[in-house]
Amino acid sequence: MEIRTVLLIVLAAIAALTIVFYQYFYKTRKRGKLSIILASLRFCTLFSGLLLLINPKFKKNEYSLEKTNLIVLVDDSSSMQGSAEEIEIRDKVSSIIENPELNKRFSIQQYGFGSKIKQIDSFKFTERNTDISNALNKTSEIFSKNNTAIVIFTDGNQTLGRDYDYINLDENIAVNPIVVGDTTQYEDIAIGLINTNTYAFLKNKFPVEATVLYKGRKNVSKTVSILLDGKRVYGETINFNEDKSSATINAELEATSVGVKSIELVVESLANEKNKSNNSKVTAIEVIDEKTNIAVISGILHPDIGTLKKSIEANEQRSVSILKPSVQIEKLSDIDVFVLYQPNSRFRNIYRHIEKVGASVFTIAGTKTDWNFLNQAQQNFSKENFNQSEEILPVLNNTFSVFGLGDFNATDFPPLEGNLGDIELKKEGETLLYQQIRGVQLDKPLFAILNGDKQKEAVLFGENIWKWRAQTYRLRQDFKSFDDFIGKLMLYLSSSGSKSRLELGYEFVFDDSSFAKIRASYFDKSYSFNSNANIKIEVRAKSNNSLREYPMLLKSTFFEADLSDLQAGDYQFTVNVENENLKRSGAFKILDFNPEKLLITSNYDKLKRLAEKTNGTVYSPNTIDSLINDLSTSSKYVPVQKSKQNVVSLIDFRFLLGFIIATLSLEWFIRKYNGLT
């Protein structure tokens, strides 16, 4: 307590005594026992009141011991499973977690990681991918504010994510790798990256490009073969030596039949090669017999043009031509769908051709659209133009049922730019996206689909759709959901038949069973999405004709079946809607590809660079005792005692108020009882 506060308390006591003396004893002859009691009560009242005004405080120190974080990360991938130290790893981790000296110094936490990081107590070593950079980055995000030591048990082989050689962790974090596995570099030959198209066209040739990698010092000559559905269709002999460690295969194969085709590349193994699982690699391609031609016609340059081309051609079954409105009509004879970007009077001949051939149209309007012309050129929709641009946010219509949207969602999408004005749809249709302007949702379409049996039309009343594709990548690290949405739109516009009430969405080839999922959208007779339907899928394996049945679970605006328990192989499936005569069939292939099986030696050099970069030290399972000793004795990780100073009132004001009321009441009662005023 401060000297000033003590002096004030003393002065308060003197002042209270002085007042009491003046009131009860100064020039008063009666000084009996009653006067002393009343004077004491009056003193307590006055002194408590003055204490309440002074409010004396004192400082209270609280001490706490802050330990350094010790994070134990264990690579739980299958590449660790074959290590001779598998059982030893568990023992070594336990020796760190349970060490009493480390527990005195550190706050210890244990995590396992594969493609994701999670807190676990035991390890199975079954993860099919390893993302070391993600594990380190997540740890850095969580513990960046405090001094942290990371001990990571891994072979240093990463199959997923950003290369951890280039990550930048917080300066408070030191990484100490425990290198697990064989560090010896064996002679090896392997098939590397394969590049091929997703689709090929019947009776056409399609390219296959692959990289063959060699580790060794000898001069070797090996043959690389390409098998199409198990039949050898290409072969090439490649020479390697110490200076030539890679070669590229370029082949053109012919698509002779329709369907999903398996492409396998195989390279001859070396004489004493230890790892032969990477001597072959499988991919697949679908051979189709038709292609959709789409023309994007624009009289201006805009980023939306390139975005549309990339999104549409993400499906190689579609081809996009970028043309000007002045294009010769003869060049439009083979166009299936027209994308008209911000039409003006120069599009007059284009509209005449579309009306003549009855082609489907996707119109995108914006700030440079000539609405006077557009309202006259077609009779399906119209808009008043106030020549005032405005930012328009999209609001998804959850009841949209013209075609399945998959996982497309407009939430968090940036606004498009368009002109203000009332919109009238003169043809029967359905709104996919509504407008929201300045926080107010309007009952006006931003994206509308106009129905038709043969000629179909879609209208987007805003430009800068490229921002939506960029936002999709920002949120999901890929363009897939946006490109799939544009693909479904193009499929709807290019289809000439009536709309199906049961639509499917799936990949023809899955690299791994964990990605094997099939989606379905079911619509009732009024073509409204029916979330109460009972949908099942039957999957039949081509190898043994075994049949399995799965329920399709509702997820937002679609149903989904998780087929992750299937083994690698070829499958046929049928989706059925109970109590409805509706079914759709298809086929897919699951590849037997596990990148963890391709790695048999640890990457010591890379882990050593990681340790040096973060001021850590690299260890092996046999030197765990050195790690424990270094962590236990390092001055960098000494626990820090921290004090927290709290300023606390000496007396609770509620207690003082209660005491004052009590003394005043008692004094009043005594005075009245004795007949005093």
Q: Tens of pLDDT along 125-144?
A: 878 788 999 999 999 888 87
| DSSP run (H or E) holding 666 | helix 653-673
Q: Say if CB 163 and CB 133 are below 8 A apart.
A: yes
**552: pLDDT confidence band, cut at 50, 70 and 90?**
very high
Q: Which residues, 6+ apart, have CB-to-CB distance to 41 below 8 Å?
A: 663, 664, 666, 667, 670
Mean pLDDT value of segment 1-29: 79
In this structure, how many other beta carbons lie within 10 angstroms of the beta carbon of residue 613? 16
Provide the residue type at 507 as one letter.
E
Mean pLDDT value of segment 475-503: 80
Token representation of residue 237? 């002999």
**556: pLDDT confidence band, cut at 50, 70 and 90?**
confident
Task: Note the pLDDT tens digit of each residue in 415-470.
Answer: 999 888 888 888 888 888 999 888 888 888 899 988 765 688 999 999 999 999 99
**What is the per-residue pLDDT for 496?**
62
**What is the per-residue pLDDT for 193?**
85
Token representation of residue 152? 């990571």
Q: Is the pLDDT of residue 49 over 90?
A: no
**What is the per-residue pLDDT for 511?**
73
**What is the per-residue pLDDT for 672?**
80
pLDDT over 70, % of the chain? 95
Mean pLDDT value of segment 532-548: 90
Rounded-to-integer distance, Cα 604 and Cα 615, Å: 16
- DSSP designation for 186: -
**What is the per-residue pLDDT for 626?**
93
Q: Is 638 helix (H, G, I), strand (E, B) or coil?
A: coil
In this structure, how many other beta carbons lie within 10 angstroms of the beta carbon of residue 102? 22
Q: Say if CB 92 and CB 624 are below 8 A apart.
A: yes
6-to-1, 54, 318, 514, 613 alpha-carbon distances in Å: 7, 10, 89, 74, 58
**What is the per-residue pLDDT for 84?**
45
* CA 500 to mean position of chain CA atoms: 32
Alpha helices in 327-479 (DSSP H): 348-357, 371-377, 466-476
362-to-26, 296, 308, 317, 533 alpha-carbon distances in Å: 105, 9, 11, 18, 32
Ramachandran class of 668: left when φ > 0, alpha when ψ lies in -120 to 50, beta otherwise? alpha
Q: Among residues 110, 266, 115, 288, which one has the least CA distance to residue 200?
A: 288
Rounded-to-integer distance, Cα 368 and Cα 381, Å: 17
Task: Note the pLDDT tens digit of each residue in 615-640.
Answer: 999 998 889 999 999 999 988 888 87
> Across all residues in the chain, what is the average pLDDT?
85
Mean pLDDT value of segment 56-70: 78
**340: pLDDT confidence band, cut at 50, 70 and 90?**
very high
In this structure, how many other beta carbons lie within 10 angstroms of the beta carbon of residue 370? 18
HSE (side-chain half, CA atoms, 13 Å) at 385: 16
pTM: 0.54
**What is the per-residue pLDDT for 176?**
94
Q: Say if CB 245 and CB 214 are below 8 A apart.
A: yes
Q: Say if CB 304 and CB 469 are below 8 A apart.
A: no
In this structure, how many other beta carbons lie within 10 angstroms of the beta carbon of residue 117? 20
**What is the per-residue pLDDT for 452?**
65
Alpha helices in 386-544 (DSSP H): 466-476, 480-494
Task: Note the pLDDT tens digit of each residue in 468-486.
Answer: 999 988 888 888 888 888 9
Q: Say if CB 653 and CB 52 are below 8 A apart.
A: yes
Token representation of residue 493? 């516009």
What are phi and psi for residue 567, nearest 5 degrees?
-85, 170
| DSSP run (H or E) holding 505 | strand 502-505
Q: Is the pLDDT of residue 85 over 60?
A: no
Give strand pairing partners of 65. Answer: 641
**Rg of the chain (C-alpha set):** 39
CA-based max dimension of the chain: 131
- Give the range among 59-63, 137-141, 178-182, 366-370 with minimum mean pLDDT: 59-63
Q: Which residues, 6+ apart, have CB-to-CB distance to 567 below 8 Å?
A: 513, 541, 590
Task: Note the pLDDT tens digit of each residue in 377-393.
Answer: 888 888 888 788 888 89
Task: Give the start-end residues of each E strand in 28-80.
Answer: 57-66, 68-75
Q: Is 277 helix (H, G, I), strand (E, B) or coil?
A: coil
Q: Write the secondary structure of 533-580 as one string of H (helix), E (strand) and C (coil).
A: CCEEEEEEECCCCCEEEEECEEECCEEEEECCCCCCEEEEEEEEECCC
Angle at which helices 466-476 and 480-494 cross, to 10° = 130
Mean pLDDT value of segment 276-301: 84
Token representation of residue 575? 């989706």
Q: Is the pLDDT of residue 20 over 90?
A: no
Mean pLDDT value of segment 583-610: 82
Q: Is the pLDDT of residue 498 over 60?
A: no
**What is the per-residue pLDDT for 453?**
58
Rounded-to-integer distance, Cα 386 and Cα 376, Å: 17
Q: Say if CB 106 and CB 68 are below 8 A apart.
A: yes
Higher local confidence (pLDDT), 148 or 127: 148
Task: Note the pLDDT tens digit of each residue in 199-235.
Answer: 787 778 889 999 999 988 889 999 999 999 889 999 9
Higher local confidence (pLDDT), 262 or 220: 220
Alpha helices in 407-523 (DSSP H): 466-476, 480-494
The C-alpha torsion from 211 through 217 and 223 to 226, rounded to 10°, is -20
* CA 545 to mean position of chain CA atoms: 37
Q: Is the pLDDT of residue 667 over 90?
A: no
Instruction: List the domains of the chain with CATH numbers.
Output: 3-62+646-673 (no CATH), 68-184+601-638 (3.40.50.410), 188-288 (2.60.40.10), 292-494 (3.40.50.880), 502-594 (2.60.40.1930)
* Owner of token pair 């974090």: 173
